[in-house]
Amino acid sequence: MATYQSLQLEVLQTHALTHEQGAPMTSDSSEKNSVRFGADGGAELVSTQGKTIIADAVVAKIAGIATREINGVYDVGGGTARAVGALRDRIPGARVNHAQGVAVEVGEKQAAIDIGIVAEYGVALHELAVGIRRNVIAAVESMTGLEVTEVNITVFDVMLFEDAESGGSTDPEAKPRVQ
């Protein structure tokens, strides 16, 4: 499973390879970099030397990986996303969807991220949310150059180790007591 550090290493290796091939790495103060909205729903970073388009799916994948790195996160996604993920896991050769449970909106210079999680029982949920936000913001901002304006976290469930062993059975007919 790819981690934030391994993805960052890939970016650095690609950057170093470009430098070795003779591309200039000087930062000219007259060069203006900006971020624009791309036609495919991603961010488009523009400089005098060209443009880089970052798709929404890339931001979602980075956020998903950064979320899974935090201790106390049992799974990412709500009931439907987790059910589809469980089916996919049974298919031989299927890959993990790192963007599962993550929705993003990417604008010209900013990104807003919504993440749904299942937490491990016993973890302080407010502290877990702080850790997730911190890691997601650091990962997305350092890897994309976009400013993350918000990271909204929804805790869909708390997983007991007993639930994990029995398949996580919960009563879908149960009605909430408060609104």
pLDDT recorded at residue 102: 95
pLDDT recorded at residue 174: 62
pLDDT recorded at residue 16: 44
CA–CA distance, 162 with 56 (Å, rounded to integer): 36
- In-domain check, residue 136: yes
Q: What's the total number of domains in the chain?
A: 1
- In-domain check, residue 134: yes
Tens digit of each residue's pLDDT, the chain (179 residues): 455 555 555 544 444 443 444 444 443 433 344 444 444 455 567 778 888 878 999 999 999 999 999 999 999 987 666 556 565 556 676 667 778 889 999 987 899 999 999 999 999 999 999 999 999 999 999 999 999 999 999 999 999 876 555 555 455 566 677 76
| Enclosing domain of residue 127 | 56-179
- C-alpha 1, offset from chain centre: 14
DSSP tag of 42: S
pLDDT recorded at residue 2: 55
In this structure, are residues 64 and 73 in contact, taking their beta carbons and an 8 Å threshold? Answer: no
pTM score > 0.95 for this model?
no
- In-domain check, residue 31: no
CA–CA distance, 53 with 35 (Å, rounded to integer): 9
- In-domain check, residue 66: yes
CA–CA distance, 102 with 85 (Å, rounded to integer): 13
CB atoms closer than 10 angstroms to residue 41: 13
Residue ranges with strand state E in 48-124: 50-54, 73-76, 102-106, 110-120
- In-domain check, residue 21: no
Supply φ then ψ for residue 97, to 5 degrees. Answer: -90, 100
- In-domain check, residue 75: yes
CA–CA distance, 167 with 22 (Å, rounded to integer): 55
- In-domain check, residue 18: no
pLDDT recorded at residue 35: 47
Residue 160 belongs to a domain with what CATH number?
3.30.70.1350
pLDDT recorded at residue 15: 44
CA–CA distance, 114 with 63 (Å, rounded to integer): 9
pLDDT recorded at residue 122: 95
CB atoms closer than 10 angstroms to residue 154: 11
- Residue partners of 171: CB distance under 8 A and separation at least 6: none
